[in-house]
Structure 1
Amino acid sequence: MSKPAPLILGFESVDRTSVAQVGGKNASLGEMVRNLGGRGVRVPPGFATTAEAYWRFLDASSPCPVIAAAISDWTMGKTSLPDTGARLRAALLAAPWPEESAEAIRAAYRDLCARIGRPDADVAVRSSATAEDLPDASFAGQQESFLNIRGEAALLEACRRCYASLFTDRAISYRQTKGFDHLRVALSIGVQQMVRSDLAGAGVMFSIDTETGFDKVVLINGAWGLGENVVQGAVDPDEHQVFKPLLDQPGTVPILEKRLGGKAQKMIYAQDGEHPTRNIPTTPAERSAFVLADTEVLALSRWAVAIEAHYGCPMDMEWAKDGESGEIFIVQARPETVQSRLGSGALRSFRINSKGALLVTGLAIGDAVVAGQVCRIDSPRDIDRFVDGAILVTTATDPDWVPIMKRAAAIVTDHGGRTSHAAIVSRELGLPAIVGTETATRDLQAGQEVTVSCAEGDEGFVYEGRAQFETRELDASAAPETTTQIMLNLANPAAAFRWWRLPADGVGLARMEFVVSNHVKIHPMALVRFEAVEDPEARAAIEALTAGYVDRTEYFVERLSRGLSRIAAAFHPKPVIIRMSDFKTNEYSNLIGGAGFEPKEENPMLGFRGASRYYSPRYREGFALECRAIRRLREDLGLRNVIVMIPFCRTVDEARRVLEVLAENGLVRGEEGLQVYVMCEIPSNVILARQFAELFDGFSIGSNDLTQLTLGVDRDSGELAELFNEQDPAVEWMIDQVIVSAHDAGVKVGLCGEAPSNHPEFAPFLVQRGIASISVNPDSFVAVKAAVAAAEETAHRTPRRIP
């Protein structure tokens, strides 16, 4: 006689092969309890009701015919989805507990209380469908969870409500869409010791970048209080991004991004038995502080790496910190179901050619651009008001919104982070979304024509009107092998992870000034000499941006180093060449507080720019901050693949002076593997190339400025546009000469100008001359790579001619 199937199983008795018995969520908890405790991963103790317990619950009240009839009426159009769901939930909520099942749950709860050492211990009661968390179906949020449940009676009622939640409108709709038989999906219930995160914080963690699929980072979101607010998108959480390859390198803190969230409210315990949790406003101190310390962020990231390695796939996890013990726990782990299933070859590139006024900004989800009409909806009950293909604008979403979200072209919400419901479902549906805008429902009007852009990096933008944009498909798998290195020109850190799948040989030009203008925004001298800033608006803006920094210069160093770190990490361990700031004086003046520190020049293009600034009393202290940021990037974050490059270096003597200033600021060429390159963009760099080669490790040819100064043509002049030609014989002669000189001196030489990106046919000339690397814009990469491969094939048959 076979042994009857169990009604209850402790987490230590199940593993990931137990999905049919206890569902994906509970099976995963058991898997971690049994296999990852030795790696330090903490999981709160608990138990699971089995699928057998669910079927016995149904058998006791015989609702199966009711379920089948109700679903049939709905699919035939006889009843609405809300009426169908209400009918089924009422049937389960009225069903009595089979005494054997009820006693099994009570006994398991008493055992758990004894293990914890706390009578009537507070527990979390979570649903775990036996078909959930499959590779093609996440069932995210489809069933209910109940927190702060105490006592046997309350536990049984919460379990009954979990069973009923198998038939919420959203769960019925989701199963129907995915093709699951409603009577073949059972529900297991996980009962787990509550982590007192109401006294600390909680959140969500992914072992992969959720927007790009970049597999070398851990993404952590967190907020004060219980984690439901983060999952539901009811708050704007803190965000951390951590670089996995350097987590175990001694002395490094590889946190690439720290973004402070608004965290306007937190969920805590309540005394009301009917509603055991409630939201309260956070204090100003809580809103201005990160939920996690850096050490905790790194510890969680190491757990994410261990969990991912054990499961063999990218993971989606929930964490909670106990405010009483200070310990952190993993309370859920499941396979990530969106980025990990995308193909690795095709990349889309969007380019906006003209756009209207910027209306709102937030976190970008996805990478597309969509234009359409705004449809503002305040509740999923208003589904009949939604216009198919419109842009859904609302405060936040939960699973009840899914039927509307499926009909939208894009989604914009006031609240939420990258791990909120709106973000997760938008990714599953393939829709661009902008979350956490704070003001979308106020600033966007129903019927208004707008453009939603998620193609400009981490930040999403809503523009007025229908922007003109173009879409290009890039197939990275079609890029041929080349001997010549093909690198990328990058400036925007927020977009760096988008291009990680390109088989690039590194970054040939990362423009520091873009990071300064977009991420730092403040003139560095206005931070060094804040007392000299006279403009009251500039002073107020600086005080607001640097709030919380005891030393205002630390704001510059931290923002710059973290911004650059995303570019350096995206292609680690391949070389990433960071050009030190190359603003012109008129551009520096536009930075906050900059006007009082910059001279007025008639021709800034040929004025106080590049290397001449670095040793000048006007800017030397500002350059020291740039050097501090590079040191932090290489030493603290551990990104030693970073190479420093000096722009617009006019003379050999100036080169020596700049190297001395670098050394004074702890950047000594040759120490700790540091390489220093120089831009070749002035005729003197070509004429004296051998002398420059004695001081630098390589040249990077800036063909834009070199063309301008060789031909005497202002590259920005509309009147002279026809004369500006990087393929002019005079310019080609200059390029050829510096390549020959570099080869003779045994230093590296590449080109990072716009010519190959704009004119792929320029590549054969460079290959024939023996260039070591060519840096191009990402959307030109595949075309240039193909042109170089063809040129290399020809070059094998044609000897190189050196004039």
Structure 2
Amino acid sequence: MTKYCISFSEIRHTDLASVGGKNASLGEMIRKMTPLGIRVPMGFAVTVAAFRAFLREAELEAPLKNSLDSLDKDTLSNLPEVGRKCRRMIHSTAIPDQIQAEIQAFYLKLGKNKSVAVRSSATAEDLPSASFAGQHDSFLNIKGPKALLEAVRNCYASLYNDRAIKYRLDNGFDHMDVGLSVGVQHMVRSDKGSAGVAFTLDPESGFDNVVYLTSAWGLGEMVVQGAVNPDEFYLFKPSLAKALPYPILQKKPGAKEHKMVFAKDGKKPLKIVPTTAGEKTEFSLEESDLIQLGKWCLEIEKLYDTPMDIEWAKDGKSGELSIVQARPETVHRKKALTLKTYHMPNRPDPLCVGKAVGKAIASGKVVIVNSLSDASKVEKGDIIVADITNPDWNALLRRAICIVTNKGGRTSHASIVARELGIHAVVGCGNATEKLKDGQVVTVSCAEGDEGKVFDGKLDWEEREVHLGDLNETKTRAMLILADPDRAFQMAMYPQQGVGLLRMEFIISTAIRIHPMALVKYGEMVESHEKRAIHALTSAYENKELYFVEKLAASIGMVAAAFHPKEVIVRMSDFKSNEYRELIGGKYFEPEEENPMLGFRGASRYYHELYREGFGLECRAMKRVREEMGLDNVKLMVPFCRMPEEGKQVLKCMKSFGLERGKKNLEIYMMVEIPSNVILAESFADLFDGFSIGSNDLTQLILGVDRDSALVSGLFDENNPAVKEMLAKVIRDVKRKGKTIGLCGQAPSDYPEFAGFLVDQGIDSISFNADALIGGIKNIQKAENK
């Protein structure tokens, strides 16, 4: 006797042909994950055999095939008509009595009038080669046998959605070979809690050493649809695996404007309501739950042995977490040996800003799309602008050169489709449909890290294709100079050997924005515009100092994780006093100097009473990165240290803040950028573990040339014999003391002979800006191959 229903607990991954990809995955997880303490809601599958029997008894197979065969595969002009005809056949056919009885019996085993999720599960779904994500329908908060049977039939009909028909065509699946199972699963009451999506890699770059997780209040459908801008989190996999105290790399709050909850009036099972003011500002997931989910994601990825796309939910009543779906991630299976880089030299203020999906720039004509009725407006190469996108739009989205939406995060439908189509998108702008007009020509850039920006008009930009296959690793380490943590995962794909210089100042000025002493002395500050601005930025922090520590640690942590286990050398803050004054509250704590370039900067600040407590916040953040987050590939570097005595004071100060050279493998480097650093190199080498030559500062101080002065800038030259002699001396003296030394600067990529000179001197590493890295590597290769 044919079984039309089967409990999830009896399903194996080998049952894909009888229960579809989604249900086979759920059964396998319940069997393998439950013993590990991972909750997967129980339920049952209505088998593919039931679907086949439904078609056979109603003699629908031949009519469906004839209708699908009538599809114009070249133009798809009759796709809506074909899909509508197929769905009408399904909706007008009753489910056979025997199948109805079996579904009802299995449903009653779950509990009388139990709320369930009813999800389509196709035999061609959740495969490594094609996800079919969003192609078939799901129905939530279904109660009672009658509503359940209707939901099952609606799932059957969704096999013939326009988008599903086209997806099968695009991926080479025969329409009649694909069968549909239906999963019936306990509903997690996340309408009173939160839910979201997790990827076991970064969905943008494919970087696989993190878990990327999104979360919002209410049912997870809002996150999947892109109807809400969710909270975003990154966790570091090695730290999760080692159960270190703080594996969370980054937390970014989302607007979370609305949530989907159970309806109580009985007419519709669900409704969308605004979130409260508190819900908008609070994170929708506690850190302990976030870490728990991260660990579960690692186990699920281990089970499937491939990166995974996982849906989770938190029951607001019981507080329990559950995994409700898991499928293989399909976009980043192959890593290209070619990278395309983009650079826009001149750009105005953007019209709107959102989250970047992809790493490209494009110009085109705006088409505002509100529904499928606007499909005829979209031409090849247009930029689709919408509130949110819908799975029904997949066909028209293929015509677009990029997508811009008001709502959604990086796990929304628009983001997933953009990645699959190989185009970029800016999601979650909030005001795109207001700021942009039909027919307007705009330029959309996702080439500047985390943010995507839309500019008015057709702007100019540069594109470079970087071929990585012919770049062999050099003996002289080629490293990167970085400032923006949002570009870390992308930059880690480059053929580099670590980060030779991570500038802390960019992070402080963009992610923190507040002078550290204004946070230390917040309670003593008089009421002012600056104090109100500080309060607004730090409202989530009762301890204002913790705002600085957490923000800085998160940004540094993202870079260190991206390049782990390769070394990341973090230069402690090197603002000049005039630059520090530009930070919020800075004018209360900074002196006014005639020549800040040679004034209160670098090492001299760290132990001085005017800044010592601010430096303490920097040290606390670095201690958190190394010891709590487990990123011990971070090395620290002291800039502008004028004399060995000053070096001793800085090291003593760092030790007082918990950063002791040699303890827990901590290495502390020093910048070489003052002639005294060269002359007294051996004395400095007794204090520090390594050195990095800052060629710009060193050259200007050797030649007495202000590199920022247009009048004398022509005299600035790293190839000057005086500069080269000083470089040769410091490399020689440092190497004699058995310490490592590198150089950060533009000259080795611009001038092959300069790179050759450094290689000849035996320098250990050369660090380049990202746009100069490939040229620099080639110059090193030429020098080493002499």
TM-score by length of 1: 0.95
What is the distance in 1 between the residues matched to 2:740 and 2:616? Answer: 27
Q: What displacement does 1:251 show? A: 4.0
CA contact (8 A) 1:476 1:501 kept: no
CA contact (8 A) 1:355 1:465 kept: no
Secondary structure class of the residue paired with 2:241: coil
The reply on whether 1:203 has 2:200 as its aligned counterpart is: no
Deviates more, 1:785-794 or 1:145-154: 785-794
Cα deviation, 1:316-363, whole Å, max 9, x if unaligned, reads: 010011122221111111100001x23242222211111122222111
Structure 1 residues 160 and 300, CA, compared in 2 at 3 Å: closer, same or farther? Answer: same
What is the distance in 1 between the residues matched to 2:593 and 2:125? Answer: 65
Structure 1 residues 132 and 613, CA, compared in 2 at 3 Å: closer, same or farther? Answer: same
Q: What displacement does 1:536 show? A: 4.0
- 2:782 is matched with which residue? 790
The reply on whether 1:57 has 2:58 as its aligned counterpart is: no
Q: State the AA in 2 paired with 1:173.
A: K
Cα deviation, 1:68-88, whole Å, max 9, x if unaligned, reads: 333344417796333332222
Alignment counterpart, residue 480 of structure 2, candidates 480, 488, 498: 488
Q: State the AA in 2 paired with 1:308.
A: E
CA contact (8 A) 2:512 2:548 kept: yes
CA contact (8 A) 2:483 2:504 kept: yes
Structure 1 residues 592 and 375, CA, compared in 2 at 3 Å: closer, same or farther? Answer: farther
- 1:315 is matched with which residue? 308
Q: What displacement does 1:399 show? A: 0.1
- 2:42 is matched with which residue? 45
- 2:144 is matched with which residue? 151
The reply on whether 1:501 has 2:493 as its aligned counterpart is: yes
Structure 1 residues 143 and 394, CA, compared in 2 at 3 Å: closer, same or farther? Answer: same
Alignment counterpart, residue 32 of structure 2, candidates 30, 35, 39: 35
What is the distance in 1 between the residues matched to 2:76 and 2:717? Answer: 71
What is the distance in 2 between the residues matched to 1:223 and 1:45? Answer: 23
CA contact (8 A) 2:488 2:562 kept: yes
Secondary structure class of the residue paired with 2:531: helix
Deviates more, 1:73-82 or 1:293-302: 73-82
- 2:373 is matched with which residue? 381
Matches within 5 A, 1:231-630: 231-339=224-332, 341-530=333-522, 536-630=528-622
Alignment counterpart, residue 84 of structure 1, candidates 62, 71, 82: 82
Deviates more, 1:695-704 or 1:604-613: 604-613
The reply on whether 1:185 has 2:178 as its aligned counterpart is: yes
- 1:69 is matched with which residue? 66
- 2:647 is matched with which residue? 655
Q: State the AA in 2 paired with 1:42.
A: R
What is the distance in 1 between the residues matched to 2:253 and 2:77? Answer: 47
Alignment counterpart, residue 672 of structure 1, candidates 659, 664, 678: 664
Q: State the AA in 2 paired with 1:299.
A: Q
What is the distance in 1 between the residues matched to 2:372 and 2:519? Answer: 48
Secondary structure class of the residue paired with 1:53: helix
Matches within 5 A, 1:728-767: 728-767=720-759
Q: What displacement does 1:525 show? A: 1.8
- 1:104 is matched with which residue? 102
What is the distance in 1 between the residues matched to 2:389 and 2:585? Answer: 40
Secondary structure class of the residue paired with 2:447: coil
Q: State the AA in 1 paired with 2:248.
A: I
What is the distance in 2 between the residues matched to 1:471 and 1:769? Answer: 35
What is the distance in 2 between the residues matched to 1:154 and 1:447? Answer: 45
What is the distance in 1 between the residues matched to 2:551 and 2:76? Answer: 59
The reply on whether 1:711 has 2:703 as its aligned counterpart is: yes
Structure 1 residues 15 and 613, CA, compared in 2 at 3 Å: closer, same or farther? Answer: same
What is the distance in 2 between the residues matched to 1:724 and 1:499? Answer: 30
Q: What displacement does 1:386 show? A: 2.2
Q: What displacement does 1:772 show? A: 1.0
What is the distance in 2 between the residues matched to 1:296 and 1:346? Answer: 38
What is the distance in 2 between the residues matched to 1:746 and 1:497? Answer: 33
Q: State the AA in 1 paired with 2:645.
A: D
Secondary structure class of the residue paired with 1:239: strand
Identity score, percent: 51
CA contact (8 A) 1:54 1:187 kept: yes
Secondary structure class of the residue paired with 2:344: strand
Q: State the AA in 1 paired with 2:375.
A: I
Secondary structure class of the residue paired with 1:461: strand
Cα deviation, 1:12-37, whole Å, max 9, x if unaligned, reads: 22222222111111110011112222
**Structure 1 vs Structure 2 CA RMSD:** 1.8
Q: What displacement does 1:645 show? A: 0.3
Secondary structure class of the residue paired with 1:525: helix
Deviates more, 1:707-716 or 1:417-426: 707-716
Number of residue pairs matched by the alignment: 785
Deviates more, 1:450-459 or 1:587-596: 587-596
Secondary structure class of the residue paired with 1:590: coil
What is the distance in 1 between the residues matched to 2:604 and 2:761? Answer: 31
The reply on whether 1:778 has 2:776 as its aligned counterpart is: no
Cα deviation, 1:628-662, whole Å, max 9, x if unaligned, reads: 11111112111111111011111222212211221
Q: State the AA in 2 paired with 1:106.
A: Q
Secondary structure class of the residue paired with 2:669: strand
Deviates more, 1:28-37 or 1:171-180: 171-180
Cα deviation, 1:598-624, whole Å, max 9, x if unaligned, reads: 223333222221112112222222111
Secondary structure class of the residue paired with 1:357: coil
Structure 1 residues 773 and 722, CA, compared in 2 at 3 Å: closer, same or farther? Answer: same
Secondary structure class of the residue paired with 1:732: helix
Q: What displacement does 1:272 show? A: 4.3
What is the distance in 2 between the residues matched to 1:204 and 1:673? Answer: 37
Secondary structure class of the residue paired with 1:766: helix
CA contact (8 A) 1:252 1:636 kept: yes
Deviates more, 1:10-19 or 1:669-678: 10-19
Deviates more, 1:246-255 or 1:429-438: 246-255
What is the distance in 1 between the residues matched to 2:235 and 2:754? Answer: 39
Deviates more, 1:445-454 or 1:161-170: 445-454
Q: State the AA in 2 paired with 1:37.
A: T
Cα deviation, 1:262-307, whole Å, max 9, x if unaligned, reads: 1111111113444211111111122222122111111111111111
Q: State the AA in 1 paired with 2:765.
A: S
- 2:9 is matched with which residue? 12
**Structure 2: 5+ residue stretches without partners:** none
Cα deviation, 1:130-180, whole Å, max 9, x if unaligned, reads: 111222321111111011111111110110111111112222222222232
What is the distance in 2 between the residues matched to 1:542 and 1:761? Answer: 50
CA contact (8 A) 1:356 1:465 kept: no
Cα deviation, 1:581-604, whole Å, max 9, x if unaligned, reads: 111222222222223322233332
What is the distance in 2 between the residues matched to 1:387 and 1:613? Answer: 59
Q: What displacement does 1:741 show? A: 0.8
Structure 1 residues 132 and 251, CA, compared in 2 at 3 Å: closer, same or farther? Answer: closer
What is the distance in 1 between the residues matched to 2:504 and 2:586? Answer: 17
Cα deviation, 1:229-283, whole Å, max 9, x if unaligned, reads: 0100111111110000111335421101101111111111113444211111111
TM-score by length of 2: 0.97
Secondary structure class of the residue paired with 1:126: strand
Q: What displacement does 1:755 show? A: 1.9
